[in-house]
Amino acid sequence: MDSLDFSESGWWDRILSEMRTLIPILIGLLVVGCGEKQSLNTNEGNNTPVITAKKGAKETPPNNSNVNTVKEITREDVIGAYEVKFGDVERLVFEASGDFLYYLDGKKTDEAKWSIIDSGKRELIANYPDGKDIIMRFEMNGNITDIATVNDGERTALSKDMQITYKRVKDTKLTKDKANK
């Protein structure tokens, strides 16, 4: 028997299985460690929406800077599935119920609640039970990009090379299956 032949003992299966577990952890550590710190206080700046006397109406205070008009997003814009492939296939599913599901190669590995935190800036947040949240931007083309993390209430921006863009996919089989149950 060749001493480098591990095929019978199942070593390679164990190594690959552990690698699939460690890769998302490594990416998470890189994301948290390589960001730029920002305040999570949304009351800063000149574009903070102000609630008027009309029921539920929002008005943005005047601002003299040249700001491009951006279409605000709704929950219906976001609901669906998004994917990226880095060897493994990562899938994000935003459900109408507010559930956020993360799949790695077709297996659900994480779950959170999602909401829109700033429809004008097109920002979403996935609130994880452990308090370590991710902020995403809903792009004009319908894709979603990770842009920041939140740990203990403190927002940390991701550098451009750490931002991951997930492309919207038409195959929403995972969301339809859960909706039928």
Integer Cα distance of 37 and 159 in angstroms = 11
Q: Residue 63 pLDDT more than 80?
A: no
Structural domain of 114: 11-180
Taking residue 31's Cβ as centre, other Cβ atoms within 10 Å add up to: 20
Sign of CA dihedral 47, 71, 100, 51: positive
Output the pLDDT for position 114.
Answer: 95
pLDDT at 4: 55
4 part of a folded domain: no
The whole-angstrom separation of Cα 12 and Cα 160 is 34
Higher pLDDT, 1 or 139: 139
Question: Could you read off the pLDDT of 83-134 as tens digits, one per residue?
Answer: 999 889 999 999 999 999 999 999 999 999 999 998 889 999 999 988 889 9
Under 8 Å between Cβ of 115 and 124? yes
Are the beta carbons of 118 and 42 closer than 8 angstroms? yes
Q: Which residue has the higher pLDDT, 64 or 70?
A: 70
Domain count for the chain: 1
- Residue 56 domain-assigned (yes or no): yes
Does residue 24 sit within a domain? yes
Query: Can you give the pLDDT at residue 119?
Result: 82
Q: Token pair of 74, please?
A: 């709704």
Q: What is the pLDDT of residue 69?
A: 60
The answer to whether residues 102 and 83 touch, using CB atoms and an 8 Å cutoff, is no
Instruction: Confirm if 164 and 84 have CB atoms less than 8 A apart.
Output: yes
Do 31 and 162 contact (CB within 8 A), yes or no? yes
How do residues 1-49 score in pLDDT, each as one tens digit?
455 555 555 655 666 667 677 677 767 666 666 555 554 544 444 444 4
Residues recorded for the chain: 181
**DSSP one-letter code for 3:** T
pLDDT classification of 153: cutoffs 50, 70, 90: confident
Greater pLDDT, 70 or 140:
140
Average pLDDT score over residue span 148-170 = 92
pLDDT at 30: 64
Domain assignment present for 85: yes
Cα(59)–Cα(50) distance, rounded to whole angstroms? 5
Residue 79, in any domain of the structure: yes
Q: Is residue 38 part of a domain?
A: yes
Task: Check residue 177 and give its pLDDT.
Answer: 41
- Whether residue 49 lies inside any domain: the answer is yes
CB of 134 within 8 A of CB of 126? yes
For residue 149, tell me if it sits in a domain: yes
